[in-house]
């Protein structure tokens, strides 16, 4: 069933009605208390159907029960929103991790493997290379230009958050047939989005491939790869450490764009009403990204950052929980201190917004003034939004708490539960009908057939939209800038 993203999160506006402090003597108001029907879970109308809140957010009944078990109580709406985005396919890889674990990831030259923002390998002479590839398929199917552009922006941030300067992009792309108007519209928008963002930031797209096939009609594959270089001694990880250190949010203000965005769209289906999902596609600003790159690299060169994490899918819910979990610590986040570009935003909107061009830096209090000065130099907004708290070695440590000075504690969850405890699924799988593994990998059973019309075969090859000269292909390559510029 297709869920309208806006309706998924509409119920959570009720959070404003129920924000009261969580104390040792008071359990948070459970989501069931908000249900008008008096059922076990609150419900909303989704495409004419009554849905419990956790289902409307994309969580299964078993996942909702698992969350309640982790918390030892029923999760409130803000906590459910955070779990829903962190346990989505995009953020948790809950359906693909079982297969990805089969890939080799260790070698003497591998400095950073899976679990961080990008892989890093030592190439000698004190130089390392950071590499990351990621897809932005579903957002690009909804809004091709912004979906692809923000995919490029996100992959750039994954690279420079490791301390590397991005130097090149590549984009293997798959679209439906060119004679399908929607597929052609998606292809043109995606190419424009990747080239527009990369060109504006000054990172060239040096290679890629474009394939058109009916398999991808309505559901393109939009992959973007980025490569960056760094001195080995500038390598930094996305983890928080040092109780009392402060969490500083860098970059753009937080808005409603991207709420329930890539983290939810990655798990959603499409139909003729998919324009309803356009508010969930993020909007990028490559010029803000360029300033953010330079500010972050200067901060890292000056050794002013203990850890740093980019904000992409799941926004602050992801960045705060991942940095705390990786460092084995907790974090208190003051939701009222987060800069916003829109009035009246609720805590669930602030924590799950996927507004682009943002980074979370962990900074020692004594270095804060220097950090703010560098950000001011590059005209990058910076705000202290949280504090690192004791870790899992304490009986009540390792918690991610979302607080408000006026309303108290709005959410209180183990940081590792959001980051590491998503369920792992082994989905049913089978070979396609008519699949012949021997024919696919075995030797040819005989010589290649002869060619009776070489000129005709060559003409057909040139006209093939995949390998030949297609009407759209001449417009692809010229859009990409071939050299980096600073």
**Distance between CA atoms of residues 124 and 174, nearest Å:** 35
At residue 99, the pLDDT reads 92
Q: Determine whether 136 is an active site residue.
A: yes
At residue 467, the pLDDT reads 67
From the candidates 41, 54, 77, 90, which is the catalytic residue? 90
CA 382 vs CA 28, 302, 335, 337, 374: distances in Å? 32, 17, 15, 11, 10
pLDDT band at 344 (very low <50, low <70, confident <90, very high): very high
Phi/psi region, residue 370 (left: phi>0; alpha: psi -120 to 50; beta: rest), is alpha
Percent of the chain with pLDDT over 90: 60
Mean local confidence (pLDDT), 212-221: 91
Q: Where are the beta strands (DSSP E) in 267-321?
A: 307-310
Rounded to the nearest 5 degrees, what angle is found at the Cα of 265, between the Cα atoms of 259 and 267?
130
Examine the pLDDT at 15 and tell me if it is beyond 80. Answer: no
Q: Determine whether 90 is an active site residue.
A: yes
Share the mean pLDDT of the chain.
83
**Which one, of 66, 86, 131, 62, lies nearest residue 325 by Cα?**
86
From the candidates 41, 54, 77, 136, which is the catalytic residue? 136
At residue 149, the pLDDT reads 94
| Pairwise pLDDT comparison (360 vs 284), residue with the higher score | 360
> Do residues 197 and 146 make contact, with C-beta atoms less than 8 angstroms apart?
no
At residue 159, the pLDDT reads 96
> Do residues 247 and 320 make contact, with C-beta atoms less than 8 angstroms apart?
yes
pLDDT digits (tens, 9 = 90+) for 31-69: 443 333 333 344 444 444 467 889 988 899 999 999 999
pLDDT band at 300 (very low <50, low <70, confident <90, very high): very high
At residue 112, the pLDDT reads 95
**Distance between CA atoms of residues 348 and 364, nearest Å:** 28
């Amino acid at each position: 069933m297709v869920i309208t993203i806006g309706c998924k999160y509409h119920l959570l506006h009720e959070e404003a009605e129920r924000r009261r402090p969580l104390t040792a003597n008071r359990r948070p108001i459970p989501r069931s208390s908000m249900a008008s029907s008096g059922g076990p879970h609150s419900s909303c109308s989704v495409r004419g159907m009554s849905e419990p809140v956790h289902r409307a957010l994309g969580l299964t009944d078993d996942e909702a029960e698992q969350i309640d078990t982790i918390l030892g109580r029923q999760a409130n709406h803000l906590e459910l929103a955070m779990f829903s985005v962190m346990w989505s396919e995009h953020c948790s890889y809950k359906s693909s991790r079982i297969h990805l674990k089969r890939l080799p990831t260790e070698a003497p030259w591998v400095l950073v493997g899976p679990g961080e923002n990008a892989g890093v390998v030592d190439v000698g002479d004190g130089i390392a290379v950071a590499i990351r590839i990621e897809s932005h398929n579903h957002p690009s199917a909804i809004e091709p230009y912004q979906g692809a552009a923000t995919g490029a922006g996100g992959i750039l941030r994954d690279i420079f958050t490791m301390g590397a300067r991005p130097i090149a992009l590549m984009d293997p792309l798959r679209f439906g047939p060119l004679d399908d108007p929607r597929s052609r519209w998606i292809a043109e928008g995606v190419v424009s989005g990747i080239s527009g963002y990369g060109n504006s930031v000054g990172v060239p797209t040096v290679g890629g491939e474009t394939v058109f096939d009916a398999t991808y009609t309505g559901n393109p594959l939009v992959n973007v790869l980025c490569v960056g270089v760094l001195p080995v001694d500038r390598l930094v990880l996305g983890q928080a450490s040092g109780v009392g250190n402060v969490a500083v949010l860098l970059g753009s203000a937080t808005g409603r764009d991207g709420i329930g965005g890539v983290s939810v769209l990655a798990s959603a289906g499409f139909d003729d009403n998919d324009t309803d999902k356009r508010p969930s596609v993020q909007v990028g600003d490559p010029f803000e990204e360029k300033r953010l790159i330079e500010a972050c690299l200067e901060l890292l060169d000056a050794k002013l950052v203990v850890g740093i994490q980019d904000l992409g899918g799941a926004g602050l819910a992801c960045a705060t929980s991942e940095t705390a979990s990786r460092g084995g610590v907790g974090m208190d986040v003051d939701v009222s201190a987060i800069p916003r570009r829109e009035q009246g935003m609720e805590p669930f909107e602030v924590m799950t917004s996927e507004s682009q061009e943002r980074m979370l830096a962990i900074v020692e209090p004594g270095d804060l003034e220097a950090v703010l000065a560098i950000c001011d130099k590059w005209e990058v907004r910076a705000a202290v939004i949280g504090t690192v708290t004791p870790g899992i070695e304490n009986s009540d440590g390792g918690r991610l708490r979302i607080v408000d000075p006026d309303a108290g504690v709005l959410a209180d969850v183990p940081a590792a539960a959001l980051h590491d405890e998503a369920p792992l699924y082994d989905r049913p799988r089978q070979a396609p009908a008519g699949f012949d593994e021997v024919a696919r990998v075995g030797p040819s059973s005989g010589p290649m057939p002869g060619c009776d019309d070489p000129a005709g075969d060559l003409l057909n090859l040139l006209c093939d939209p995949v390998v030949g000269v297609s009407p759209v292909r001449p417009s692809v390559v010229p859009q990409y800038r071939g050299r980096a510029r600073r």
